[in-house]
Structure 1
């Protein structure tokens, strides 16, 4: 076996279903394999032309389309396509083109057919995947979803390459090549993880800068990298990589490095669109390029729903995408206006901070400035930066907030000390306006800049909120203003005004009041969590609700959220403007019954909230 075949064999061993082949089948592939290069934007497969090859992506990215031209899938390294035509009449059914400069291994149709007929594992993998993609509707319950049941260590296939910081980049590169590693971990004398170096770091930080090959790893590594524990869920790792736009993530067990998962590992377990979309956002060079991704955001949302992702998965992924837009716009703003004259932190508020964002959303954000801020010296800069970001978000599909809770509003650009005083006043002297603002601002997340400012504000909310019974009582009363849409006989009460009569606003009458009451309980127990499901876990741990009530609220939140999410996805898929208004007549009898049960749980939870935080009670 020559060097090239050895390299191809090692690649096959990393990717299913090629890693299911025995030696004879592998040799059959190697003896007939063709390799082709496709320039970015060039067609690879055209609809209805003869289907002669099965394609495996060695490097680059490929877009696959339906026959009507709508985007169907995006694939990266290790992805494959072309099986539909080979299995159905030898005609191309799904056209494909190169999204980036792409190198493909091409396996001739007779070889593919032979593998399909002789290798059961190969056939099962391809056939099941084919069926799933064509139907786009495989029913998977929360318990059966691999993202929520598989631990991240199940994705590890090899021990990590661990080297001391003093290792030269040349020696490190040689060892990475010998073991086919795309990343290595840097350890100190006690074998503790202190950094990570990827193949991209060698290109960007060594070759591009002309550093000598004797340069130690300590000078080019990313220090203190994000990590996951071996028993964390695949879902948690995926969200971490989406949030930080990471390509590699170290996995630890008892503080020791167990392995490294890559984005290509995770891409097999989740909608490829979300991961590709975040990359596309950070690769954009202008607001116009970012705005052009609006359709991709909708496609990613619809695809997740079609793949039976649950509400937490959808909300987290959409929030990660929205956060990425903000971060990229802030990068572009700095390129245009220069570095901030004083430290600052851009805040995401509301559903994005709670990681419960959907496709129908506006922008809620604010700007925290260092206490050294002087309006006469620095005001013009931050006004330009805030306007640039808010205008950019609007162009990207995140509508201006009708209540003007945006950093472009001077009211929501102030120094850290002023924010602390404002929050303290809302808690110690609750007013109608302050309570409304608390519902938005008390779900906050620092997405750019000095995120320690956001941490300080969250700590203040936690400490003062939990100790102020008057504030909690006021927040509880405020949380009761939006009631579930149930009549005396548990019939649905429809909207009666506006253009959406005979519908139910699933946000205003469902998810919003649930999020409100969960927030009150979370504040009372000092929870630092922002996501409603995470807050429910803290509430359950505190034991303030009767047994079984947390589980009921959790199920109610999930069901109402999914009815809302599916309604929006169906609207997008049908080319309609998505909204939150659902016509119960469009639901099945089963869905209507369960929805009524979910709203009843919300009603009962509001009754308990009213009792627990009565204003007449003492602390």
Structure 2
């Protein structure tokens, strides 16, 4: 058939195979076969052993779950079958040709070999959350591609710029070298060593051209080189700056300072600096580096729940340090208190975009005379958090609001009232407060409160029903035929909201499962795992939801890292046009899984259906 003559070229046009070396691509093509399947025929059914990954060339395939509910409608350049192969299990879904289909069959052994031998392929399939392997193993700094570490758009000047102008620019920017480029071509580099040796000591005229003292055709590397290549080059040649070029054009630079900063940039380093800070502005200098930490963690292959946990640890430390500074300023507290976080900090799921959500539980021994102290304490801490980057909560869910700064007995009455009369506000507030986590102060004030509330709430079927209904207000972005539905208008038009339509629906489901099972964990992934272990959530449904959550949360963080590397402030809006067909297909599958689990919860069948 025509495709067999051009199999290699077709594979080379599909990610991740487009990144394979020419020889490996040819070997892959030789190991594949092409199959034609008539409309109505099945590729595999539930319980089948899957021997191939199928890559669609033409036609459409209908994928359905265990309950025969439509899961995905796949078109050309999409793949299916990898789920069972990578899990080494029988098929938990079926795949049927809706029309005449032409597909490439990649044997399971060939796919597994590609994953084992090629990091790009392994990382790609890890993004679906299904390999359970390489994504959980952080790469060493030295094995990172230079493109993930280099300073992009380095400071440049033209060859005819004067030495004095170039030196002035270096001083203004606080840099130790300047690259010389013109008309898209890289000409050379001048460093402080050149200025000192050739101008100050050598007597060159500072009004002469920078081209007269620059190093022409310096040693360079490409963006696909590894950081270890930079290290070896610096050590062997005794240099401190390596320009990064591509097709003779300057695209970046790596300096010894970049390497030192990257090696020192750990969450522990930032936690240590925050913990020793004397005031909020000093903390802010440390927390300003959180975006770069996120980039490094994502680039090194850390899992999304590890990244968010490490980033949240910094916020926890900042909160405790501010509490300590507040007590030093205000004096010892008149009665015991407990500062708690809710929202993403409470769930240990903070990303590069986080506001603050917090509250205070006070000892029942407090009197009205004690309230000014805690008002001042709350203002000191919330103002400090805002200063260091955790902006004020738009909904005023903060300890500065008197409503959320109350004695323990009042907090118990809050929950009792919300459970007894689950109106819309009560549902919203209960959802937020079910994510409470102690941060600093007397933790005994929280002892028993969470368990008592969960027991009372789970026993009230009307409250549970209302909470389930409230949890379904955030819908995955699926349109007709279960395609991706982007935002239609406004600043984020044609993008997906990976927070409110991505992770939030899963966070809401996790909270419902915790309520039904009286599970005390507040982290979303931990809640899902506990729901599976305790039987609240079926093994197959739970595995699907965990896969969906891992994919959505990972893609959200990776997109934020991409924005940061481009010099933009991170947000939660993903342009699906930046994804490959394969990635869009699996992202759509993930959203369908979430929608299916929402439907099961909303139908009253329960999490086990």
Conservation of the 8 A alpha-carbon contact between 2:288 and 2:389: no
CA–CA separation in structure 1 for the residues paired with 2:339 and 2:229: 41
Which of 361, 370, 375 is the matching residue for 2:354? Answer: 361
Change (3 A) 1:409 1:497: farther
Alpha-carbon deviations, 1:550-579, whole Å to 9, x = none?
011001111101111111111122221211
Q: How far 1:602 sits from its partner (Å)?
A: 0.4
Q: Tell me which residue corresponds to 2:523.
A: 531
CA–CA separation in structure 1 for the residues paired with 2:297 and 2:464: 37
Q: Tell me which residue corresponds to 2:474.
A: 482
Q: Tell me which residue corresponds to 1:260.
A: none
CA–CA separation in structure 1 for the residues paired with 2:279 and 2:405: 25
Change (3 A) 1:448 1:606: same
Change (3 A) 1:94 1:438: farther
Change (3 A) 1:455 1:510: farther
CA–CA separation in structure 2 for the residues paired with 1:458 and 1:272: 36
Q: How far 1:369 sits from its partner (Å)?
A: 0.4
Matched, 1:343 2:336: yes
Q: Could you list the runs of 5+ residues in structure 1 that have no partner in the other structure?
A: 1-15, 17-44, 51-79, 96-130, 137-267, 615-619
Matched, 1:392 2:384: yes
Which of 85, 89, 92 is the matching residue for 2:237? Answer: 89
Q: Number of paired residues?
A: 374
For residues 546-557 of structure 1, what are the structure 2 equivalents within 5 Å?
546-557=538-549
Q: Tell me which residue corresponds to 2:214.
A: none
Helix, strand or coil at the partner of 2:603: helix
Q: After the TM superposition, which of the residue ranges 508-517 and 482-491 deviates more from structure 2?
A: 482-491
C-alpha RMSD of matched pairs (Å): 2.9
Alpha-carbon deviations, 1:262-285, whole Å to 9, x = none?
xxxxxx9x9852010000001100
Considering only CA atoms, is the larger Rg found in Structure 1 or Structure 2?
A: 2
TM-score with structure 2 length normalisation? Answer: 0.58
Conservation of the 8 A alpha-carbon contact between 2:469 and 2:602: yes
Conservation of the 8 A alpha-carbon contact between 1:85 and 1:93: no
Q: Tell me which residue corresponds to 2:325.
A: 332
For residues 156-167 of structure 1, what are the structure 2 equivalents within 5 Å?
none
Q: Tell me which residue corresponds to 1:370.
A: 363
TM-score with structure 1 length normalisation? Answer: 0.57
Q: How far 1:539 sits from its partner (Å)?
A: 0.8
Q: Tell me which residue corresponds to 1:443.
A: 435
Alpha-carbon deviations, 1:278-329, whole Å to 9, x = none?
0000110011101222321222111111111111101111111111111111
Q: How far 1:89 sits from its partner (Å)?
A: 2.9
Change (3 A) 1:94 1:384: farther
Helix, strand or coil at the partner of 1:548: helix
Q: Tell me which residue corresponds to 2:82.
A: none
For residues 309-324 of structure 1, what are the structure 2 equivalents within 5 Å?
309-324=302-317
Matched, 1:286 2:279: yes
CA–CA separation in structure 1 for the residues paired with 2:465 and 2:264: 42
CA–CA separation in structure 1 for the residues paired with 2:291 and 2:569: 11
Change (3 A) 1:88 1:504: farther
4+ residue stretches of structure 1 with deviation over 6 A? 45-50, 133-136
Q: How far 1:581 sits from its partner (Å)?
A: 0.8
For residues 73-88 of structure 1, what are the structure 2 equivalents within 5 Å?
83-87=231-235
Which of 487, 500, 523 is the matching residue for 2:492? Answer: 500
Q: Could you list the runs of 5+ residues in structure 2 that have no partner in the other structure?
A: 1-139, 141-174, 178-190, 194-227, 244-253
Which of 589, 601, 608 is the matching residue for 1:597? Answer: 589
Higher relative contact order (CA 8 A, sep 6+): 2
Conservation of the 8 A alpha-carbon contact between 1:472 and 1:613: no
